[in-house]
Structure 1
Amino acid sequence: MTQPLTPAGAVWPPLLVDSWTDTRETLHMMTQIVGKVQMACTPLVNQWWNVAFELSARGIRTNTMSAEGRAFDAEFDFVAEELVLRTSDGLRAAVALRPRPIAEFYAEFRSALVHMEIYVDIQAAPNEVENPIPFAEDTTHHAYDSDAVRIFWQQLVQADRVLNLWRAGFAGKASPVQIWWGGLDMACTLFSGREAPPHPGGAPHCPKWVNLEAYNRQCASGGFWPGGSGEGVFYAYCYPQPDGYSDRPAGPDGAHWDKSLGEFVLPYEVVTQSQDPDATVLHFLQSTYEAAADLANWDRRLFDVNPARLDPEIKAANRNRI
C-alpha cells in the first residue's frame, strides 16, 4: 500500500485528554442520546453499521433515518454550536450545544422531535460507561467547552482522512470510517469473510448480544480514541486474536502493545511530532493489519490493492473539466 506525504495544509491540533474530560463526557452523553434514536429508526445493518455516525464538514452527523414514511437526520454542528434536526418535508429544529445538564439537553431534544412529529422510544440511559445515569436524571454531566469540541472535531477530520486512505488499500468487505457513540471513537474495520467464534462481551452496561453481532465475522480494526492519557491514541486490534499477534511489530517508533487495553496503540502526540503524520498513522494501521491477516492466513492476494492504481487515468480524465 502506498503512503502519500501529509498534505501541506493538514493541521493535526493538540488537545490534552485531561484538559477537556468534563466536556468530553458531556458530549459523549449527547451523542448517546442521538445515537439511540438512530438505532431505533434504522434497520439493522451487519455489525451495527446503521447506528454509527460519520464526519461532516460541520461536525458529526447521523445516517438518514425514517419515521412514519418520512426521512430525517441530525447533525452536531460544531461551527454553529447546535444540534440540527431536519426532515424530508422541510421541517427544521435546533438544540443549542452549550454548558447545561444532560437532563435539560435531553428534554429539549425530545421536545424538538415531538415538534417535528417524530415519536420514538429509546432505552434512555447510556451504554458502555461505568455508573450510567438515566438521561432524564443526569445533572452530573453539564460542561461544554466549544473550543475544545472544535479541536476534537479537527482531530477527527485528520483521522477520518487517513483512515479512509488506509481503507482504500483493501478490496474486501470493509466498514465505512465511522464514529461510534458507545465509546466516542472513530474506527474502520476490515473483514476476512470468515465467521468468528462468539464474542465473550465485556463492555460495561452493554448486552452480550450487541457484541455477538458486532464481532460475528473475523476482522481487523483501526481507529482513533480521544481518551486514555496524553492526547489520545490511534489503536488497532483484531478478533479473534491469533497466537503471536501481540508480539508483532506495530510499525512506527512509539507504537506498542497495551496490555490493559488489549490493543496496539500509537499515541496521538507521536503522530503530531513526526515529520509526516499521515505516513506515521498509515504505517501503524498497515503493520497491525498485516500482523492480523498474516497470522490468521487471510488471502491478501485478493484483498490488498494500490489505492493510487488509477490516479493517472483519473487525472487525465478530469483535466480542464472545471
Structure 2
Amino acid sequence: MELFPPIPLAQWQDSKETVHRFAQVVGKIRLARSVRRNHWWNVPYHLTGRGITTRPMAVPDGRGTFCIDFDFVDHRLVVCSSDGRRVSFPLTGQSVASFYRRTLDSLAAVGVTVSLPHPTPFDLPDTGRPFTEDTEHAAYDPFWVNRYWQVLSQVNLVLEEFAAGFCGKVSPVHHFWHTFDIAVTRFSDREIEQPRTVDPVTREAYSREVVSSGFWFGDDSFPRPAFYSYAAPEPAGLADCPLRPDAARWIERNGSHLAVLDYEEVRGGEDPRGAVLDFYESVYQPAARLAGWNIGGEASPGGVTDPVAARGGG
C-alpha cells in the first residue's frame, strides 16, 4: 500500500456524502447504547484491520454485548452479538433510507432494539430530513471507499505515534461521524467556562483546555484533504507562531485560527510521516507554551515515562 495514497475530494465526493450519513446512522446507535464518557469519547469510531467499529455495546437487558462494524474490504455492514449471532448486508446499492432500515433489521435479528431520539443527520445540509426518507444519497464507489479506509488507517498510525509523546490526559485516536475527521486531543486540567448559549455538544467537547491534531477529507468550505491542528481556547499570539514544514499555514475558521497542511503537499515529500509529525509538534509546542502547560513534565519521548527505561536501564 502506498503511503498516503491520493484521495482527491472531487473523485469520491458523492460516495463520501453517502458513507458519512451511513456513519451517522450507526454513530447515533452507538450514542444511544453506550455509556457516556468525558468529551464524548464513547461516541466516535475506532479503526480495525478491515474498516471501522463502534466497539462493543450492551444489549438492552445488559446480559450480553453487540457490535457494529463497517467492513470496507468486502464492503458490508456487520452486526455481531456476544451469543454468536452475526448478520451482515452489502454497503453497495444502498440509499441512506434502505441502509437505515436494513441496519435496524440486522440489529433485531441479533436481539437488539434501538430507538433513536433524532433519526436525522447531525449538522449536515439535510439535517431536517429523516434517514427513512433519504433516497438521494446512494452513491458508493468501492474503490474510493476502500481508499478512504486506507488513508484513515495510515493517518491513524501517525496520530498514535504523536499521541505517544504526551503522558498527560489524551484522547484515543478516533474517527468522528460528526465532522468525518480523525483526531487525537491533548488536554490540560484547566476548566473552561463555556457560555450557556453554546450547544451541549461543544460545551462537553471543550470543557477543558485542548490542543487537537487530526486529518479530514475536505468539505465544501475547504475542498481538499488536509492535516490540521488547533488550540481551544486559542492563546493570544498563537497564529503568529511559525509552522513547519514551509507548506503549512494558518487560516481563519469559525472565529479562530486553524493550522493546515495540505495532504498533497505531504504526499510528494521525502519523509511524509516525519513532515506530519513535525507539523503537529510545531503547533503543540507554542500552543502549550503560551497557555502555560507543563511541557517537560508531560513529555513521554517514545511513549516512555519510566525514568529507568528512559536512561536505558531496562
Normalising by structure 2, what TM-score? 0.91
Equivalent positions of 1:257-276 (< 5 A) are 257-260=250-253, 262-276=257-271
Unpaired segments ≥5 residues, structure 1: 1-8, 203-207, 317-322
Equivalent positions of 1:52-91 (< 5 A) are 52-67=44-59, 68-69=61-62, 70-91=64-85
Taking a change above 3 Å as real, the CA distance of residues 191 and 246 of structure 1, as seen in their structure-2 partners, is: same
Corresponding residue number in structure 2 for 1:182: 178
Structure 1 moving runs of 4+ over 3 Å: 199-202, 228-231
1:212 equivalent to 2:206? Answer no
Distance 2:164 2:95 in 1: 41
Taking a change above 3 Å as real, the CA distance of residues 29 and 199 of structure 1, as seen in their structure-2 partners, is: farther
Taking a change above 3 Å as real, the CA distance of residues 246 and 194 of structure 1, as seen in their structure-2 partners, is: same
Distance 2:42 2:300 in 1: 27
Distance 1:302 1:260 in 2: 31
Whether the 8 Å CA contact 1:199–1:211 is kept in 2: the answer is no
Unpaired segments ≥5 residues, structure 2: none
Q: Percent identity?
A: 38
Whether the 8 Å CA contact 2:175–2:183 is kept in 1: the answer is yes
Which of 89, 97, 119 matches 1:103? 97
Distance 1:157 1:149 in 2: 12
1:155 equivalent to 2:182? Answer no
Taking a change above 3 Å as real, the CA distance of residues 24 and 176 of structure 1, as seen in their structure-2 partners, is: same
1:223 equivalent to 2:218? Answer no
Corresponding residue number in structure 1 for 2:86: 92
Q: Which secondary structure does the structure 2 equivalent of 1:166 belong to? A: helix
Q: Which secondary structure does the structure 2 equivalent of 1:242 belong to? A: coil
Residues 117-173 of structure 1: CA deviation (Å, up to 9, x unaligned): 101111200112123221001011110001001111111111000000000000100
Residues 190-240 of structure 1: CA deviation (Å, up to 9, x unaligned): 0011111216888xxxxx111111110100000010014564011111111
Corresponding residue number in structure 2 for 1:301: 296
Corresponding residue number in structure 1 for 2:235: 242
Q: CA deviation at 1:291?
A: 1.9
Whether the 8 Å CA contact 2:166–2:303 is kept in 1: the answer is no
Residues 91-115 of structure 1: CA deviation (Å, up to 9, x unaligned): 1011211033110111111111111
Superposition CA RMSD, Å: 2.1
Q: Which has the higher contact order (CA 8 A, sep 6+)?
A: 1
- The number of aligned residues is 302
Normalising by structure 1, what TM-score? 0.89
Distance 1:10 1:86 in 2: 32
Distance 1:120 1:308 in 2: 40
Distance 1:250 1:115 in 2: 52
Whether the 8 Å CA contact 1:10–1:158 is kept in 2: the answer is no
Q: CA deviation at 1:250?
A: 2.0
